[in-house]
Structure formats: structure tokens, C-alpha cells
Structure 1
Amino acid sequence: MDMESTATAIGVSVPVLRFLLCFVGTIPVGFFHRFIPGGPTGKHLYAALTGALLSYLSFGFSSNLHFFVPMLVSYGSMVLYRKRCGLITFVLAMGYLIGCHVYYMSGDAWKEGGIDATGALMVITLKVISCAINYNDGLLKDEDLRESQKKNRLIKLPSLIEYVGFCLCCGSHFAGPVYEIKDYLDWTEGTGIWAKSEKGTPSPFGATLKALLQAGFCMGLYLYLSPQYPLSKFTDPTYKEWGFLKKLSYQYMAGFTARWKYYFIWSISEASIIISGLGFSGWTNLPSPVARWERAKNVDVLGVEFAKSSVELPLVWNIQVSTWLRHYVYDRLVQKGKKAGFFQLLATQTVSAVWHGLYPGYMIFFVQSALMIAGSRAIYRWQQSVNPTLKNIFMLLNFLYTLLVLNYSCVGFMVLSLHETLTAYGSVYYIGTVIPVVLIVLGNIIKPKSAKSKARKEQ
């Protein structure tokens, strides 16, 4: 293939085209996994070798060296110091990722249509940290563990080939989803929910086709909208001349447009994990059981665009990373017998910001998201304490609030620089920062007299 002419024809750079070809190649790689001979060992070797090959073809030889640094750090800590291997891996693997973020400044490359291996390194970092923490949890007593810890803990050390296969399987390190090593081992060995049963073997083809159709639609819409809503507009002199509502609507459309790119990427990764069989998550309880494929799901498009509350967003956007943050950061910051508060939320969002990169835009966005969720919780508490008519009004307010603050906040995530972020925020009088802060303050002053405890727990 003439890479340069093909890249020019579809409007991307050669590195991006190379990445996209390898990324789509994860789908046939996932499909052939089921046919690999040699039992679990053969499948682990296939997962490791195909993952490394896709990485080499996409990013070059140096990318694989970057990936193996946190992988070997994590495995070495599990071998040498199991009692603290989770903490050691978290600090060193996250530290190495931050160093790569600083060195490569990948956010600038992504803004300009380029790409490097840092995004894949981000996924591998989460995988190796979760593996080490789960091995650490294997030393703890049942009464000291949450249900998720009991489910995912490792009693014995995975072999090196099992571990590398887990990290690189099906090219899932390109863009996720993140999954647990316990699930990977069960899938490879045909145990747990993947064991043969009277319900038969679930067919992945319908769910795979659905994911591919979604990917095609998302990419088509993104290619149509992106030339109309460039990020450069925020520093354009004509933008400054617009009125308040026009600026606010442009922020909404810029965020709306950018999200379709992520929907496309996650739909492709979902297809590759589903067709491999790893995406299977059990059967429905209907009279005629239907296979569920939620383990591969990383986004619920309609759930994001029509979220009734900001609290719902982590459940529908980058779902597997949000689950990882809950299990390995948020829950572990809550002391036994106590409830989580704003500190745990802010700390979790800060870890997420650092994981994405050290750009001011990321930091501001994730602090903003913590404020956004806290403000939405205040609305929800009032909503639960009023009569049905007023409750519907509060539900509408929470929806509109989420729509406004999300698209205001995500400008920082897109433009990255401090100047551009503050320019865009300031152009609409920081409305998406002021409103959440006001709601948080009012929520602590005007407390509902009778809020449903169950609703509070859900929030």
C-alpha cells in the first residue's frame, strides 16, 4: 500500500493511518484466537505475540520497549515483594507513564492529528496496576475485602506468559477496554462463565456486527462535523465578537463533535473483544437466555448524550476505566465504616487527570468534573425530597445542568493549554464553574428534610 497517498486521500497522517490499520486488525486477531491449538499455553503465546506484532507495526520497535518497562516492574514486584507489590506498581508504573507524557507531549501530537504509543501505554499501566493489587489482595482475609476484591483477587502468581498475554491480548492495549486478569485467565482456560453449559456457546457475531455498524456511523458523523467545528475557533478573533449564547452553543457542538471520534474508537475495540469471546459477560434471566457482551462495552452513546444526571456519566463514558478508578482508587480511599465524600471524588478525578497527561486542560477538566458531579448530587437530593410534580422539574434541571457543564468543561480536555482553556471558559463568564460551586454551597445550606436513603446510596 502507498501509505502517503492513501493517508492524504482520507485526510490523516501516515502514523495515524498505520495505527488505524493495525487497530482494525485487532478484529481478525481476536477472531482467530478461538482456533489456536496448544491449549491455554498456545493461546497465551498467541495473545502475547500478536499484541507485540501489532504494536511494532503501529508504533515501531521502541513502543514495545516502553510497554515492557511497567510490565516487568509490576511482575518483578509481585515476585519479590508481594506484601507491597500493589503500591510499588502503582507508584512506579504511573510515574513511568507520567515521564513518557512529559517527554513525548503526546497531547500536542493528538491535537495536530498525530499519534504515538503513549495512549497504549496508558491502558497497559492500568492493567499492570490492577494485576499487582489483586495479587496483593490475595494475602488479605475475606472480612477485609469488598465484593469486587474477592471476585478479582489472585491467590497464586500468574506465569510470565499468562501475564504478558493478559497485557497484550487482542491488541486491547491500543484503546482498551481494561479487563481483569482473573477474567482473562478464566476465558483462556474455558472456566467460570466461559465453561461449557447447557445454554451452549454464545455467538459473538451479532454483537460484533452491531459494534461495527456503530463504529461506521460514528466515524461518518465525526468526519462530517469536525471541519465545521474546529478547536482553533476558540482563539479566533471572530469568536470573541459572538454573543454569549452563540459561544455557548459552539462549545456544545465542539464537545459533541469530538465525542464521536471516541465513540468510533471504542466501538472498534469493543468489536475485537466481543468476537474473541472475552467480551462475554453472562446470560440474561429471560425464559430464552440471551448472551450479554458488557465486558467489552466502553461507552453507551445515548447514555452520554442524554444523561439525566452528571453522576451517570462515569457509568456510560469510558466505562471500563471508570470501573477501574472506582475499584482501585475511589473505594480504597474510603476508610472502613465511613462514607465517601468530595475528597475521594476529587482524588479519583486527579488520578484520572494525571493518567491522561500533565496538560493544564486535563487537570482543569477533571477538577471541573468533580465539581460537576458534586453539584448534580445536590440537585438529586432536592429532587428526592419533593412532590412528583416538582421532582420532574428537578429532573429536567439536572439534565440541562449536565448538558451545560459537561460541554463547557470538556473544552479544557480538547484544547489542553491553559491559555485556550481559560479563554474559552472566560468567554462565557465561567458559567460552568460558577453554577456547580453555587449548587455545592446551597446543597450544604438547604438540606432536604426527608431524602430517601436508598437514592442517596445510589448517588
Structure 2
Amino acid sequence: MGLEMDTMASAIGVSIPVLRFLLCFISTLPVSFLWRFIPGTLPKHIYSAFSGALLSYISFGFSSNLHFLVPMLMGYGSMILYRKRCGIITFFTGFGYLIGCHWYYMSGDAWKEGGIDATGALMVLTLKVISCAFNYNDGLLNEEGLREAQKKNRLLRLPSLIEYIGYCLCCGSHFAGPVYEMKDYLEWTEGKGIWSFSGKGAPSPYGATLRALVQAAGCMALYLYLVPHHPLSRFSEPIYQEWGFWKRLSYQYMSGFTARWKYYFIWSISEASIIISGLGFSGWTDSSPPKPLWDRAKNVDIIGVELAKSAVQLPVYWNIQVSTWLRHYVYERLVPKGKKAGFIQLLLTQTISAVWHGLYPGYIIFFVQSALMIAGARVIYRWKQAVPENKGLAKKFLDLIGLAYTLLVLNYSCVGFLRSEALGLSLAAFSVAVPYLGKFLKGSSTLVDEPILPDGNKQIFAMSESLSGVFKEDLAWGTYVLLKNTKTISVLISVQGGLCVRGYWSIPEDVSSASVLDWFETQIQQYGLSDLKETLYFPQSEDDGVWKMVPKGTCSLLIQPVLGTHELSENKTANKTKGFILVASSVNYAYTDKDRAWIGAVANKF
């Protein structure tokens, strides 16, 4: 079986852990289909809980699944012990534990290195337990003062433990969602509410399921076609820095467009799984004869996203169920009674959404920027409202402006989200429009003094080819930050067998571009830099030693070792050199404490 998994994983180009997850994810379809044939309410709850737990165990392993128990037990315990405040208690404890797991796993690193962790499923589960607790809390309140969503979803009784577990793990829906309400789950399982089909049979889900599967296949086909032409790794390659403004902007646009089809595929599979179980049913149309609606599991409206006339519409079309959750359990609950929501509520909601996704700077950049994007869209909307009704052409023109604004800003800003593990790549992408963002983030009221670029040097950006994509991005981030935020004209990072050289260097004329890295490796070995234990700082130029490898006109040179630790015995450790960072400047006494702080931060990254 292990050999078969290895062969299959190699055939489709993924690791075995990711393949195992994908198989479990696809298995939610037959598991959900079989739910329809389980007789009785209690057996259905047991089946929901057991099937979800089994798929989760196969996908993530035993220890990872223990993480699911923590928010589930904290949420259920708060409902038992302190109903009056169980919603807010579960919110902070659930999010607190999720943030802790994000920090511990730095969610996304395992995926990018071919592994997998359970934080994605934990994200969905966290939303479920929080909404359940809030709705049980709302069951104590007078109905007159509640919003429509609160009236619809409030719980008057405490769900039993087996109902609660079944809701949390039902048919593996915690893999990728969608998020749904406890009241809907209970009515679906018990055949009540809109699932009470007395007098007429239950509608067939097979046509809607087939539609979702065909959509999933089309999305994956388009993604596989586009991704080789617009890989996200291009942002860390030297060629990207050589492109002009319009080419870089268009590449960012196409990268964002390409990446979305992967999410469309995942959500289409999830939608098909929930539809075929029956939970995806959402009512009947008003037509004659009435037709069934299957919108409960819908997580994305592809046409709506790609042709949105306003950024305000994006939450309505993209990640629909999570957007609905954020509106009901964050945005609306932040608004004081009798007042209207404003930009602060929007910004806080987007910040919570960013933290829910993970702790990478790219997430924060994207979601905070999305709040600004939505605020900008509202300005365009006000312009449109100010146009008289008889000026139809002007209104259509503003619709086109809104469409162009939405697509441009969305695809521009999502680069930070998609390449979330490297702040440097986000800054490199954003440097198309904000070239001094790195210096602004430094907090200085003025730009860093620009060093003089000596004659006889040429600009290069070279990196070892044999490194993983993630490692290349880390090296690109490190060199970018140092060049932008210190008085450096040349930077070299040699760490863990990888080498990245960037800036202005004096390369001998007989060294070809293909041999540049080999030349640097020879210099590193010649001067013994790989075994450096302490920082070397030369505030003024010298004539011998390592100065022979640095660029012409260098006046200050700093070399900082990158140190790790290794165990000598059970209670003793020692520092071990993992590499070094070399920075050179054309300014005397260039590296102040503030500059060294930047250099130290980059060294600590490795």
C-alpha cells in the first residue's frame, strides 16, 4: 500500500501526506452520500461524528486530532457552565487556541514543504463552535431585540454531546468547510424545518451534485493550464526585478487570477459533498412548479467574483459562508445598538479574518488593505449615486471604473496573501507602486541616506538553483530587506548550503554570468567565512583579506554569522555556525545600531 501511495503521489506531483489528505477530502463525497441511508436520528449523529473523526484521523494522524478536542470541549463546557457569556468566552478561547496553533505550526510551512498540518481544519471547526455558543447564548435573550439572523439561528436548548460532536465533524466538512449553523444541522438530521418533506418526496440532489463536480473539474483543468505560465515562485526570481512597471503589474494580475481557480476547485468539491448529503438544500423557488435550491453549501460565485462591479460585493461572492459568519458573529456584534457600522467595524472584522487565516505578515497586509479597498469602492459608489438618473452612459462608465478598480486592486493586493511566508516577496510585489514601503515600515521620518554607487560595479541578483521554493523566497526576502533598510549596496547570504548574492559587485571580467556563484563560493572558502563565530565589522576600508572580494569603492563592511545550536549531551548545547551574512556599503561607519538590528533580524530568520 505504501508503494502504491508513493507511485500515485509521484504521478500527480504531490507528497504522500498531501495525497492522503486529498483522498480523504474526495472521500467526503461517498461518506456524505451514505449518510442518506442511515436510519434514525441518533444513528445519523453517531455516523456524522464517527465518519468525520475517521477521515480526520487518516488524514492528520492521532496527535493532530487532539487539537480538535480543545476548542470543542472549551465551547461545550462554556455552554454548560456559563450560558450567559458562553458566546464571548468561546470566541476568545477558541481564537486564542487557534492563534497558538498558528504560531506553533506557522500554518502553511508544512504544506509548502510537502507535509501537512491540521490547522486548516481547526480554522473551520473554530468558527463552528463559536457560532454554536453564540446561538445558545442568544437563546436566553428576548426575541424582540434580536437581529433576523439571531432569531433564525438561536438555540433554546443545549445540544446533547453526540449532537454537538456530529455537528462539528459531520461528514468531514471541517476539512474545507463550508461553515453551517447548529440549528440547520439539527433540523436536517431530524427531518424538520425545510427538510420536512411531508406530502412530497425529498428533492433529488444528484443534478446539483453533478453540476458542482463538473465545475470542480473545469476549475482544476484551468488552474493546471494557467499555473505553469504564472507561477508564484517568479516573484523571488531575479528576472522579475528586471521587468518594467506594466509587465510586473500584469504578472501580479494574472498570478492572482490563476491562484483563485485552485480555491474554486476545493470549494466546488465541498459543495458537492454537502449537496449530496441533503444538508445543502435551502428551500424552493417561487416558480411553478417550484424547483429545489441548493445554495446552503455554496462558498463561491465564480462569475460574481471575476466580474464584480464593486469591491463591496466580493464578500457576497467569495468564501461566502465564512463571510456570512464574519458578518453575523463579528461585524454586526461590534455595532452598538442604535448606531450604524463604520470603517472601524470593517477594519476590525478584516483584521480578525486575517488572524483567522494565520500569522504571516502577508495575511495582515492583504486583509487590512482589503478594508481600504472596500472603502475606496464605496467612494466610487457615492460618485455613481450622485449622477442623475438620466445620465445612463455616465453610470455605465462608473460601473466599468468599479469593475476595473476591483479586479486591479484585488489581484494586486492578493500577492501578499498567496506568498504569505515571505514578507519580502510581499514588499517586492508592492514595490511596483510603493518603492519605499520598506523604508516607511522602518518608522523613519526621512528616507535612509542613499550610499553612492561606485563606478566599475554591476548590479546582480544570483541564487543557488538547487534550493526549495520556500528557501529561495526566504533568501530573496533577506537580501531585499537589507538593501532597502540599511546603507548597503551589496549583500551576500550564505546559509545552510544556499547562497544568494544581490546588489552591486565587482566581478572579474573573465567570470561568466553562469559561473558567478562558483566564483563567490571560491572566495568564501579562501577567506574561511563559513566557520565564522563572531561578527566582523570594518567601519573603514582596508587593503587585504576579505576586502579583495567586496565591490570597488566599499568603505564599510560587516559580516555576521548565522548561528544555530546542537546538543553536546543531555543538558549541554553549543552554538553551531549555519552560515553568514555579508553587507557592504560605500559610506564610512555605515552600520549603526539600527542597521545592525535589521541585519540581526534577518540572521535570526535563518
| Global fold match (TM > 0.5) | yes
Q: Which secondary structure state, in structure 2, belongs to the residue aligned with residue 295 of structure 1? A: coil
For residues 13-63 of structure 1, the C-alpha deviation after alignment (integer angstroms, 9 at most, x for no partner) is: 1111000100000001100101112x1110000000000000001111112
2:226 and 2:258 in contact (8 A); partners too: yes
The code of the aligned residue for 1:256 comes to F
Q: 1:109 deviation in Å?
A: 2.6
How much has 1:227 moved relative to structure 2? 2.2
After TM superposition, the structure 1 stretch with the greater mean CA deviation from structure 2, 178-187 or 415-424, is 415-424
1:113: Cα distance to partner? 4.7
Please name the residue that 2:284 is paired with.
Answer: 283
CA 1:358–1:64 in structure 2 vs 1: closer, same or farther (change >3 Å)? same
Paired residue secondary structure (1:384): helix
SS of aligned partner of 1:72: helix
1:252–1:111 distance in 2 versus 1, CA, 3 Å: farther
The AA in structure 2 aligned to 1:123 is: V
Task: Please tell me whether residue 402 in structure 1 is matched to residue 393 in structure 2.
Answer: no
Measured in 2, the distance between the counterparts of 1:220 and 1:341 equals 41
**Unaligned 5+ runs, structure 1:** 433-459
Counterpart position of 2:521: none
C-alpha distance in structure 2 between counterparts of 1:171 and 1:291, whole Å: 24
Q: Does 1:96 align with 2:97?
A: yes
Write the deviation string for residues 389-438 of structure 1: whole angstroms up to 9, x where unpaired.
Answer: 21111110000000110001100101112211011101243799xxxxxx
The structure 2 residue matched to 1:421, chosen from 419, 426, 431, is 426
Task: Report the alpha carbon displacement of residue 279 of structure 1 after superposing the two structures with TM.
Answer: 0.3
User: Deviation of residue 111 (structure 1)?
Assistant: 3.5
Give SS of 2:234's match.
helix
Q: Assess if the C-alpha contact under 8 Å between 2:17 and 2:114 holds in 1.
A: no
Among 393, 411, 426, the residue aligned to 2:415: 411
Q: Hey, what does 1:269 align to over in structure 2?
A: 270
Q: How many residues align?
A: 431
Contact 1:55 1:63 (8 Å CA) reproduced: no
- Counterpart residue identity of residue 33, structure 1: W
Cα deviation for residue 307 of structure 1 reads: 0.9
Matches within 5 A, 1:14-413: 14-37=16-39, 39-386=40-387, 387-413=391-417
Q: Distance in 2 between matches of 1:210 and 1:282?
A: 18
Counterpart amino acid of residue 429 in structure 1: V
Of 2, 8, 12, the match for 2:14:
12
Q: For structure 2, list consecutive stretches of 5 or more residues without a partner in the other structure.
A: 438-606
2:211 alignment partner AA: K
Distance 2:401 2:11 in 1: 45
Find the aligned partners of 2:298 and 2:330 in 1 and give their Cα distance: 21
TM-score by length of 1: 0.92
Counterpart-to-counterpart distance in 2, 1:201 and 1:101 = 42
Structure 1 residues 368 and 111, CA, compared in 2 at 3 Å: closer, same or farther? farther
Q: Distance in 2 between matches of 1:319 and 1:306?
A: 16
Task: Please give the alpha-carbon distance, in whole angstroms, between the structure 2 residues aligned to 1:150 and 1:50.
Answer: 31
Name the SS for the 1:229 alignment partner. Answer: coil
Tell me the SS of whatever aligns to 1:294.
coil
Q: Deviations over 1:250-284 (max 9, x none)?
A: 00111111111111100010000000000000000
Q: SS of 1:227's equivalent?
A: coil
Counterpart residue type for residue 161 of structure 1: I
Q: State how far apart, in whole Å, the 1-side matches of 2:431 and 2:109 are.
A: 23
Deviation at 1:388, TM superposition (A): 1.8
Distance 2:360 2:110 in 1: 13
Q: Percent identity?
A: 73
- Bigger CA drift: 227-236 or 252-261? 227-236
2 CA distance for matches of 1:92 and 1:319?
Answer: 25
Which has more strand, going by share of residues? 2
Q: Which amino acid aligns with 1:36?
A: I
Shift of 1:133: 0.5
C-alpha distance in structure 2 between counterparts of 1:262 and 1:3, whole Å: 24
Of 387-396 and 155-164, more deviation after overlay is shown by 387-396
Cα distance per residue 1:324-366 (max 9 Å; x no partner): 0000000001111111110010000000000001110000000
State whether residues 30 and 273 of structure 1, in contact with CA within 8 Å, keep that contact through their aligned partners in structure 2.
yes
**Aligned equivalents of 1:99, 1:21: Cα separation in 2:** 28
Aligned equivalents of 2:433 and 2:208: distance in 1? Answer: 42
The 3-state SS of whatever aligns with 1:30 is helix
Q: 1:286 to 1:198 in 2, by over 3 A?
A: farther
Structure with the larger RCO, 1 or 2 (CA within 8 Å, 6+ apart): 1
Residue 105 of structure 1 and its aligned partner are, at CA, apart by 1.1
1:418 partner amino acid: L
Deviation at 1:243, TM superposition (A): 1.2
Structure 1 residues 420, 289: CA separation in 2 closer, same or farther (over 3 Å shift)? same
Task: Summarize deviations over 1:291-344 as a string: whole Å, max 9, x none.
Answer: 001000001111111111101100110000000000000000111111111001
Higher Rg of the two aligned structures = 2
1:240–1:427 contact (8 Å) kept in structure 2: no
The offset of 1:198, in angstroms, is 3.8
Name the SS for the 1:175 alignment partner: coil
Residues 1:49 and 1:303: Cα distance change in structure 2 (over 3 Å): same
CA drift of 1:200 comes to 2.8
Query: So what's the TM-score if we normalise by structure 2?
Result: 0.70
1:420, 1:108 → 2: CA distance? 16
Residue by residue over 1:131-181, the C-alpha shift from the partner in whole angstroms, topping out at 9 and shown as x without a partner, is: 000000111111221010000000110000000000000110000000000
| Inter-partner Cα distance in structure 2 for 1:266 and 1:56 | 22
Tell me how far apart the structure 2 counterparts of residues 301 and 203 of structure 1 sit (CA, whole Å). Answer: 24
Distance 1:253 1:115 in 2: 27
C-alpha separation between the residues in 2 aligned to 1:200 and 1:381?
Answer: 48
Tell me, yes or no, if the aligned pair for 1:255 and 1:407 is still in contact at 8 Å: yes
**Whole-Å Cα distance in 2 between the matches of residues 422 and 107 of structure 1?**
19
In 2, the alpha carbon distance for the partners of 1:430 and 1:169 equals 48
* Deviation string, structure 1 residues 93-121 (Cα, Å, up to 9, x no partner): 11101111111112223344542211000
Distance 1:11 1:346 in 2: 39
